[in-house]
Amino acid sequence: MTTDTAHAGTIMHVDLAALQNNYRKLAQMSLPAECGAAIKANAYGLGMEQCATALWAAGCRIFFVALVDEAIDLRKTLPDAVIYILNGLMPGTAGITAEANARPSLSSLDEIAEWAELCTSRGTRLPAAIHIETGMNRVGLTVSDIDTLHTHPDLLDQFELTLIVSHLANGEIPGDVMNARQLEQFNHLRSLLPNAPASIANSPGIFNGSAFGFDLTRPGIALYGGNPGAENSKNPMQPVVRLLGTISQVRTVPKGETIGYGGTWQAKQDSKIAVVSAGYADGYPRALSSMPDLPDTRVWIDGFFAPVIGRISMDMITVDVTAIPVEIGHRGDHVELLGPHVTIDEIAARAGTISYEILTGLGSRATRMYSCDHIKSED
């Protein structure tokens, strides 16, 4: 990967000041609960080290990852952070989890037993969370498991229970009946456990009101500029990432000629076509290819939208620049593929997916640039 933008096919700008602003907004909305941050999957594709450092400077002290390897990496960046592992305790990983000073989110009786055994062997009560199942039916202690713990409280005596968590299935739809059912189940099941701080609100959950705040919220997608609400709702968050492609050449295609693999786009007139050095290897989905039954994917070129035409290939896309002014859109110019004008939510909807997948799928080939001039520490 080049570090010189003059050589780059794609450039990813990550606005760390916007990330901090999003965190502060979510933290204010979470009050009186504390606001943590989901930093898993390399900070949703944007860079764990850089994003974690910025979030710490903004006042975040509790972080959530998915895997123990992520916890190990994050610990190198933030030696004093509280780190929870949301995917739980993989078999045989209790020791390395403890060495990383991370807290597993225990989601089965087997995981509880393994963590308790480690604590007993070391003669210390290490901290951990418990994840309870309230409606997602992925991971989490079942009603039967909670009953076992309620009748055998000694199973929890060997470690320090620092958090009880669950996860909303339809949090992005405020007022959805499933949110109320999950909230009721969460309150019931945690009442059968030892008293401990509680957390159920992810990004959408924060926007569901104070009843979902409990003691700790754990936003993810909203931090990175994705819309935490339902599709077509106004996004209250600032954009954090901007992905640019570089025009490698501009060519004239006569009327009737086709473009790209399969010849799926045919020029209805003599057309000016910009070839952009970006493709699905850079995380720009092939599903954004032009199709007769779907609206055109748009890019932004110096104040003007232009349609993507033909198929997205591994390293190139083609854009119809016939209608934009002749003084822009030349070889070497940059094209916004994703950013404040072409949002991640717009791209996700056009590709038939969600903003989470768009962000985490951004390739490693882009030259990454982090704006940090305005980062201010809360310390």
Task: Write the DSSP assignment of 359-370 as a string of letters.
Answer: HHT--S-SEEEE
Distance CA 162, CA 251 (A): 62
Phi and psi (nearest 5°) for 273?
-120, 125
pLDDT of residue 4: 57
Distance CA 337, CA 150 (A): 53
pLDDT of residue 364: 84
Under 8 Å CB-to-CB from 92, ≥6 apart: which residues?
Answer: none
Q: Which CATH class is domain 241-371?
A: mainly beta
Under 8 Å CB-to-CB from 238, ≥6 apart: which residues?
Answer: 15, 18, 21, 22, 225
As a whole number of Å, the end-to-end CA separation of the chain is 35
Categorise residue 327: left if φ over 0, alpha if ψ from -120 to 50, beta otherwise: alpha
- What parts of the chain have a pLDDT lower than 50? 1-3, 374-379
Under 8 Å CB-to-CB from 142, ≥6 apart: which residues?
Answer: 133
Residue 241 sits at the vertex; the CA angle it makes with 239 and 244, to the nearest 5 degrees, is 125
pLDDT of residue 374: 47
Provide the greatest CA pair distance for the chain: 79
- Strand extents, DSSP E, 5-134: 10-15, 34-35, 37-38, 62-65, 82-85, 103-106, 127-131
Contact 340, 242 (CB under 8 A): yes
State the DSSP string of 148-187.
HHHH-GGGGTTSEEEEEE---SSTTSTT-HHHHHHHHHHH
Q: Looking at this protein, which amino acid is placed at residue 309?
A: I
Write 187-191 long-range contacts (CB < 8 A, 24+): 189/132, 189/134, 189/141, 189/143, 189/146, 190/132, 190/164
Q: Does domain 32-217 have CATH number 3.40.50.150?
A: no
pLDDT of residue 5: 63
Which residue(s) pair with 65 in the sheet? 85
Under 8 Å CB-to-CB from 287, ≥6 apart: which residues?
Answer: 312, 350, 351, 352, 353
Residue 36 sits at the vertex; the CA angle it makes with 101 and 374, to the nearest 5 degrees, is 105
Domain boundaries, given as residue ranges, for the chain: 32-217, 241-371
Q: What share of the chain is helix, strand, coil (3-state, %, to 5)?
A: 30, 25, 45
pLDDT of residue 6: 60
Contact 46, 228 (CB under 8 A): no
pLDDT of residue 1: 40
Structure tokens at 134: 């309230």
Distance CA 64, CA 358 (A): 20
Residues annotated as catalytic are: 40, 261
Phi and psi (nearest 5°) for 323?
-90, -5
